[in-house]
């Protein structure tokens, strides 16, 4: 700052007033700090109060631009009061001052005290249909602009949205929604399951009949799944595949998606197929017979990130070879974790099965980990994506091996395969 002229040339330092000197007031800026004024005690008090109320308190709230626009304009004496005003464009303070002044004048003239009328804000009247004085984005209600806006919003709806937002925008079909509700799919509260009559102490409680006795609980509606599940063969290479005497249903999917657990849940024979919370437990193609009716095949998971590259490739090649060449294979259940949806590796397998004309059906697993609406959205999204595919068997089935939700429906779907092939 130029001390002599009082014009700021550089960046102003932030200095706060100090009032600790007898008969002396030191104020705000470095320039003013130098100018110490002597005042009588009354004036000093008024002065310091007015600065306290106006300058000091407000200055710190303003940013630089606002501060520049603020100008100290008047110090008006009203009776005993000293009011310091700062002029700001359209400020309230200014209106207050003038209305106060008016009342004061009226008092002096003996006019009865009335509340000052508020000044009406004058709005600018615009012709709705005259677009000449409006900007395009001013909310003009012309038809053309509306069209443009609609197109833009449609574009942003699809292009601008994140993957997550796009997912949330999916409206599932009524049939999917009712399936989710009827089967109590999705994350549910225990109290809700209890009220519906399910015994939550049992494993896969929703696979039982509500309010059923223990003998009823044992029954599986589809006779084929009442057969004993027995380990039959394991293969690490295609040459050791067993002969394809029985119709086969294979369970494929990424590591840890719940393939082995689903086999146990379908047959209610917990522990026959080994499961683990660590991905990559199943490393060979495991064949299980279900009586003499069907063969169920547990495939090693693909996309297991922590396995060695060559091991991973060997598993994936084995799975690919199995699904594209196996003769007795009637259906591949492609398991997708409901939480994560279809990944690149899943699409690769889908493409392969399309080329090999292998029938496959999408099974959404672990539905108990997400909200019911997200189960429906995931099913809807996958069905839409695979709509044009020829070998896919629709609809997608939603299950949870943990809660037992949807397991009965899957049994019904799969038992038809066995029945038709071997009546």
Ligand X SMILES: Nc1nc2c(ncn2[C@@H]2O[C@H](COP(=O)(O)OP(=O)(O)OP(=O)(O)O)[C@@H](O)[C@H]2O)c(=O)[nH]1
Stretch that binds ligand X, among 103-111, 118-126, 256-264, 389-397 (CB under 6 A): 256-264
Interface residues with Mg ion (CB under 5 A)? 259-260, 282
Q: Which residue, 263 or 329, is less far from Mg ion as judged by CB?
A: 263
Q: Is omega for the bond preceding 222 within 30 degrees of 0, making it cis?
A: no
Whether 421 and 330 have beta carbons less than 8 Å apart is answered as yes
Does position 365 interact with ligand X (CB under 6 A)? The reply is yes
Q: Which of residues 307-326 bind ligand X (CB under 6 A)?
A: none
Does position 286 interact with ligand X (CB under 6 A)? The reply is no
CB of 367 to Mg ion, least distance (A): 18
The listed partner (Mg ion, ligand X, none) that binds 415, CB under 5 to 8 Å by sort, is: none
Whether 406 and 367 have beta carbons less than 8 Å apart is answered as yes
The listed partner (ligand X, Mg ion, none) that binds 366, CB under 5 to 8 Å by sort, is: ligand X
Q: In whole angstroms, what is the distance from residue 237 CA to residue 141 CA? A: 70
CB of 282 to Mg ion, least distance (A): 3
Stretch that binds ligand X, among 29-37, 68-76, 169-177, 255-263 (CB under 6 A): 255-263
Whether 32 and 68 have beta carbons less than 8 Å apart is answered as no
Q: Which residue, 295 or 335, is less far from ligand X as judged by CB?
A: 335
Phi, psi (5° rounding) for residue 243?
-60, 145
Q: Which residue, 86 or 322, is less far from ligand X as judged by CB?
A: 322
Q: Locate the DSSP E strands across 80-228.
A: 81-87
Measuring CA to CA, how many Å separate 318 from each of 44, 263, 284, 312, 315? 94, 20, 9, 10, 5
Q: In whole angstroms, what is the distance from residue 123 CA to residue 285 CA? A: 78
Does position 358 interact with ligand X (CB under 6 A)? The reply is no
Does position 260 interact with ligand X (CB under 6 A)? The reply is yes
Does position 279 interact with ligand X (CB under 6 A)? The reply is yes
For the chain, the farthest-separated pair of C-alpha atoms sits apart, in whole angstroms, at: 116
Does position 208 interact with ligand X (CB under 6 A)? The reply is no
Q: DSSP per residue over 67-106, as a string?
A: HHH-EEEEEEEETTEEEEEEE-TT-HHHHHHHHHHHHHHH
In the numeric block, the tokens 């292998």 are attached to 358
Stretch that binds ligand X, among 5-13, 191-199, 221-229, 269-277 (CB under 6 A): 269-277
Residues contacting residue 201 through CB under 8 Å, at least 6 positions apart:
none
Q: Which residue, 172 or 258, is less far from ligand X as judged by CB?
A: 258
CB of 219 to ligand X, least distance (A): 22
The listed partner (ligand X, Mg ion, none) that binds 286, CB under 5 to 8 Å by sort, is: none
Binding positions for ligand X, rule: CB under 6 A? 253, 255-261, 275-277, 279-282, 300-301, 365-366, 368-369, 400-402
């Amino acid at each position: 700052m130029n001390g002599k002229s009082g014009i700021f040339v550089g960046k102003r330092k932030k200095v706060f007033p100090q009032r600790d000197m007898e008969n002396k007031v030191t104020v705000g800026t470095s320039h003013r700090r130098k100018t110490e004024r002597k005042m009588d005690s009354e004036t000093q008090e008024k002065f310091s109060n007015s600065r306290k109320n106006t300058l000091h308190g407000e200055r710190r709230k303003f940013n630089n631009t606002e501060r520049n626009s603020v100008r100290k304009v008047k110090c008006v004496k009203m009776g005993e009061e000293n009011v310091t005003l700062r002029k700001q464009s359209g400020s309230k303070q200014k209106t207050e001052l003038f209305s106060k002044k008016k009342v004061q004048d009226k008092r002096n003239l003996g006019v009865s005290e009335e509340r000052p009328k508020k000044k009406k804000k004058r709005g600018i009247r615009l012709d709705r249909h005259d677009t000449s004085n409006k900007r395009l984005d001013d909310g003009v209600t012309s038809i053309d602009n509306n069209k443009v806006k609609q197109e833009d919003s449609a574009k942003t709806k699809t292009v601008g949205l994140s993957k997550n937002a796009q997912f949330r925008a999916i409206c599932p079909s009524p049939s999917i929604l009712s399936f989710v509700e009827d089967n109590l799919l999705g994350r549910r509260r225990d109290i809700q399951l209890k009220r519906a009559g399910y015994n939550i102490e049992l494993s896969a409680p929703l696979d039982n009949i509500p309010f059923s006795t223990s003998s009823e609980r044992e029954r599986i509606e589809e006779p084929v799944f009442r057969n004993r599940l027995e380990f039959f063969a394991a293969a690490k290479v295609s040459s050791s595949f067993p002969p394809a005497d029985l119709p086969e249903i294979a369970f494929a999917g990424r590591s840890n998606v719940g393939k082995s657990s689903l086999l146990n849940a379908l047959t209610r024979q917990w522990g026959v197929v080994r499961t683990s919370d660590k991905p990559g437990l199943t490393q060979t193609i495991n064949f299980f017979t279900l009586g003499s009716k069907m063969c169920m095949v547990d495939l090693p998971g693909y996309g297991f990130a922590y396995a060695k590259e060559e091991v991973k490739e060997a598993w994936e090649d084995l799975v690919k070879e199995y699904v594209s060449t196996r003769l007795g294979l009637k259906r591949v259940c492609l398991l997708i974790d409901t939480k994560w949806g279809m990944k690149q590796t899943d699409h690769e397998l889908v493409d392969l099965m399309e080329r090999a004309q292998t029938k496959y059906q999408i099974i959404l697993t672990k539905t108990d980990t997400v909200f019911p609406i997200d189960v429906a959205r995931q099913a809807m999204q996958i069905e839409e994506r695979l709509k044009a595919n020829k070998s896919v068997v629709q609809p997608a089935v939603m299950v949870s091996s943990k809660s037992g939700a949807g397991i009965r429906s899957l049994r019904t779907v799969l038992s038809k395969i066995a029945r038709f092939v071997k009546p």
